Amino acid sequence: MDAVSSAGQPRVPRTERGRRTQRAILDAAAAEFGEKGFHESSIVSITIRAGVALGSFYTYFESKDALFKALVQDMSGRVRDHVAPVLRGHPGPAIEAEGTALAAFLDFAREHKEIYRIIDEAEFVAPEDWRAHYLNTAARILERLQAARGKGELGVEPSEVHAWAIMGMNVFLGLRFGVMDGAADLAEVAAQANAMLKDGLG
């Protein structure tokens, strides 16, 4: 039987039905927290939105805090999984690939605007997961830059500063053109940002 682990972490369901139920709760939580924020949302409102029984919630999550923590991890993973296939399919130079990665993130941000409110609140509700989200994202960028340097594609030795600068640019471009402006040409936004990267790192 699916159950919450003794450590309070959500347990990975062993059945397809359990996976669908847990996914429904996470999706409902994303919408609920995105609209109302953590403190104004309730377990009852989340289960109603998910269309599951209250008891089903406690099968997978110990509390609202545990759900929020799991949601931050889930959304961070979904961003990674949305961008990774695009990068794997990019045959060109690494700097151009960063533009492709940005375009994919902008698309994700437009489709999942709630990520900004959730990640912002995570600083106070789930600080360890908030920190891990940014550290892991920057580490992936730095790894790509270092690989590009090894191929002779970068004119500078990449550092953590470069990775965080790129991540910061992506985050705020997503906020401005993915969330605030639903009509912006995301491909053009990514192209302009990528041109700046080429000038700075190429």
Residue type, 110: R
Given a cut of 80, whether residue 6 has pLDDT beyond it is: no
Query: Are 97 and 55 part of one and the same domain?
Result: no
C-alpha span between 53 and 47 (Å, rounded): 6
Given a cut of 90, whether residue 18 has pLDDT beyond it is: yes
> Residue 181 maps to which CATH number?
1.10.357.10
What value does the mean pLDDT take over residues 104-130? 97
Structural domain span for residue 24: 16-62
Long-range pairs for 12-20: beta carbons < 8 A, 24 or more residues apart: 13/60, 18/59, 18/60
Residue 82 lies in a domain: yes
Q: What is the pLDDT of residues 76-111, one digit of tens each?
A: 999 999 999 988 888 788 889 899 999 999 999 999
Query: Are 110 and 44 part of one and the same domain?
Result: no
Q: What is the pLDDT of residues 126-167, one digit of tens each?
A: 999 999 999 999 999 999 999 999 999 998 999 999 999 999
pLDDT at 8: 57
3-state secondary structure of 74: helix
